[in-house]
Amino acid sequence: MSFPFEWNPCADQPHNVAPKSARRWHHLRHAGSYVEIAARNVGRAVPILRRYARTWRTMYQAPVALRSAFACAVSEAGPRNEETIALLRETGVGATLIRVPSWERDDLGRHERFAGALRDAGFETTVALLQRRDDVLDPSGWRGFLEEVCARFAGLATAIEVGHAWNRTKWGVWDHREYLRLAEPALEIAPRHGFRLVGPAVIDFEFHLYPVTLAKLRFDTASSLLYVDRTGAPENTQFGWSAARKLALLRAVVDACRPGPRADLWITEVNWPLAGTGPWSPAAGRPNVSEEEQADFLVRYYVLILASGLADRVFWWQLVAPGYGLVDSRETRWRRRPSFAAFRTLVARLDGATFVGAKGDARQDAVRCFLVRRGVESFAVAWATGAPAEIEFGRPIRRVILRDGGEEQVRRGVSRVAVDGSPKYVVFDE
């Protein structure tokens, strides 16, 4: 059954217009799909849990070299595309992601030109394909959309993420079998045009959907929209699972369901919605945070995810957005938020660096401290998850760089630094 599609331009997501009665009836009629999910997960449970236990036990213990790990998504902005690209360049990232909605098939030229401008500016671009309910009900139309996007974006982008947040009914897909039918044609079409295929683009902590999709779909890169905003800080837990624990489980699930060489894993979407932004926020109530908290959580999330070596790239969604972006576009003159400076500093300090270990237990200590080597420079990224604390490094500190790139005064020869929830980069004397 088709329903009128309604897009929320403030929050960049659809309204859920399908009545609950229709969705409930669909789930009852297709109850067999849930039996299939349960059976697939039960069958893989033992190897997944074994891998998870091993992964969690050894997390943050091996060196991790960061290569092309930092990415930021952008949206086409019409007459302000040049400004958008200039801001993206200022962040220091080399990779980006753009969304291409199926319902804008008649206006693909706009997205194509934007992708071309990003390529010309030197960015590696991933195209995320957005679906709606009509695409599920019209497979030939969806296939035509896939064919056209892949043909027109060949040479402009390097990867295609097929489908988007399909485990939320507002995005038009009501069960995993419908997603399989959408994704299967891409396995044949995308490689023909030279694209890396990315998926299954499951949003949030619903990893039970990976075994049943990865059994049928051989993606080049596994992807997740791994949000933690309903628990606030990335170290907070949801049903006992912090962002780090979730990542360890996700890596175990992907590896157990993908025999052969280890697949890349990308987090293709994460952000924290902002308090006080009204209809521009994609979530109401508790998930919203202050701009300062958003900046702190951004840095902490990236470090926790990338220092593990379990994910290869993280995309912030997105650069410019009133309710959650690094840049606020509500006024004529766009405003860089604290998270913009935090992201720019993070990339400048860590892109091309190597995590060499952690001081203490970086999985769960109240103070998190990651040791980094970049060229001839050694430093630590540190913060406290609760009350402010002090860290004794046992070696002289040369400088302390704050989250946004400023510097903290340090006495010559000092080896101790006070930390709170705002990450610091502590640079050592060699």
Q: Tell me, what's the pLDDT at 23?
A: 67
Q: Tell me, what's the pLDDT at 233?
A: 96
Query: Rounded to whole angstroms, how far apart are CA atoms 93 and 203?
Result: 23
Query: Rounded to whole angstroms, how far apart are CA atoms 216 and 348?
Result: 40
Q: Are 275 and 289 in contact (CB under 8 A)?
A: yes
Query: Rounded to whole angstroms, how far apart are CA atoms 92 and 220?
Result: 26
Q: Tell me, what's the pLDDT at 248?
A: 98
Query: Tens-digit pLDDT profile for the chain (430 aa)?
Result: 567 789 999 999 998 766 777 767 766 776 778 889 999 999 999 999 999 999 999 999 999 999 999 999 999 999 999 999 999 999 999 999 999 999 999 999 999 999 999 999 999 999 999 999 999 999 999 999 999 999 999 999 999 999 999 999 999 999 999 999 999 999 999 999 999 999 999 999 999 999 999 999 999 999 999 998 888 999 999 989 999 999 999 999 999 998 888 999 999 999 999 999 999 999 877 789 999 999 999 999 999 999 999 999 999 999 999 999 999 999 999 999 999 999 999 999 999 999 999 999 999 999 999 999 999 999 999 999 999 999 999 999 999 999 999 999 999 889 999 999 999 999 999 7
Residue 111 in tokens? 């997205």
Top-level CATH class of 356-428? mainly beta
Q: Tell me, what's the pLDDT at 135?
A: 97
Query: Rounded to whole angstroms, how far apart are CA atoms 234 and 184?
Result: 34
Nearest residue to 13 (alpha-carbon basis) of 97, 130, 125, 114: 130
Q: Which residues contact 94 (CB under 8 A, 6 or more apart)?
A: 68, 70, 71, 122, 123, 124
Query: Rounded to whole angstroms, how far apart are CA atoms 344 and 131?
Result: 32
Query: Rounded to whole angstroms, how far apart are CA atoms 383 and 387?
Result: 10
Outline which parts of the chain fall under CATH 3.20.20.80: 13-350
- For 232, 236, 284, the CA distances from 287, given in Å and listed in that order, are 6, 12, 7
pTM higher than the cut 0.85: yes
Q: Are 389 and 366 in contact (CB under 8 A)?
A: yes
Q: Does the domain formed by 13-350 have CATH 3.40.1190.20?
A: no
Query: Rounded to whole angstroms, how far apart are CA atoms 394 and 190?
Result: 53
Q: Which residues contact 356 (CB under 8 A, 6 or more apart)?
A: 63, 371, 372, 373
Query: Rounded to whole angstroms, how far apart are CA atoms 53 and 366?
Result: 22
Q: ∠ at Cα 214 (238, 104), nearest 5°?
A: 85
Pairing mode, strands 159-162 and 70-73: unpaired
Pairing mode, strands 221-225 and 196-203: parallel
Query: Rounded to whole angstroms, how far apart are CA atoms 293 and 417?
Result: 21
Query: Rounded to whole angstroms, how far apart are CA atoms 250 and 427?
Result: 33
Q: Are 181 and 139 in contact (CB under 8 A)?
A: yes
Q: ∠ at Cα 155 (154, 159), nearest 5°?
A: 65
3-class secondary-structure state, position 327: strand
What number of CA atoms fall less than 13 Å from residue 140's CA on the CB side? Answer: 0
Q: Which residues contact 395 (CB under 8 A, 6 or more apart)?
A: 415, 428, 429
Outline which parts of the chain fall under CATH 2.60.40.1180: 356-428
Q: Tell me, what's the pLDDT at 17?
A: 67
Residue 89 in tokens? 């360049």
Q: Where are the alpha helices (DSSP H) in 207-329?
A: 209-214, 243-257, 291-306
Nearest residue to 65 (alpha-carbon basis) of 306, 252, 243: 306
Q: Tell me, what's the pLDDT at 231?
A: 86
- Strands in 354-358's sheet, in edge-to-edge order, are 64-65, 354-358, 367-374, 377-384, 424-428, 397-402, 407-408
Query: Rounded to whole angstroms, how far apart are CA atoms 176 and 246?
Result: 21
3-class secondary-structure state, position 117: helix
